[in-house]
């Protein structure tokens, strides 16, 4: 249970970092970042596997680069579900998803 909470806090920090660095991403408050990170986690757990399976041929043809597009779409979807976490368009979503991935990886490797 504590692993889930730590992961949630790491993703929350990553969302705050992305909102600070990317002009098209806005987070209203720390509470909004917490809820936005939870929504992002739920979207990644439910919708992302379905999209990965449906786009598997395209992912294979692009040698996995299409997964960046899927991650950006998940980030954009999470931003459209919750009002306190806003993502303007695809390009800020792509940059934001890359930042969240990098920050989560670095924090995960430091905590492990």
What would the DSSP string read from start to end of 73-106?
A: HHHHHHHHH-TTEEE-SHHHHHHHHHHHHHHHHH
Per-residue model confidence (pLDDT) at position 110: 86
CA–CA dist 88, 42 (Å, integer): 20
Per-residue model confidence (pLDDT) at position 71: 94
Q: What are phi and psi of 89, to 5 degrees?
A: -155, -170
Q: What tokens were used for 39?
A: 């929504």
Using 50, 70 and 90 to split pLDDT, how confident is the model at 1?
confident
Using 50, 70 and 90 to split pLDDT, how confident is the model at 98?
very high
């Amino acid at each position: 249970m504590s692993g889930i909470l730590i992961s949630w806090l790491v993703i929350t920090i990553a969302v705050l970092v992305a909102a600070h660095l990317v002009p098209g991403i806005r987070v209203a408050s720390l509470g909004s970042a917490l809820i936005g990170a939870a929504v992002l986690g739920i979207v990644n757990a439910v919708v992302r596997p379905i999209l990965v399976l449906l786009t598997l041929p395209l992912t294979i043809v692009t040698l996995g680069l299409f997964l960046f597009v899927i991650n950006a779409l998940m980030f954009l979807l999470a931003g459209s579900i919750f009002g306190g976490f806003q993502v303007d368009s695809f390009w800020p979503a792509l940059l934001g998803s890359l930042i969240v991935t990098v920050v989560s990886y670095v924090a995960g490797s430091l905590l492990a």
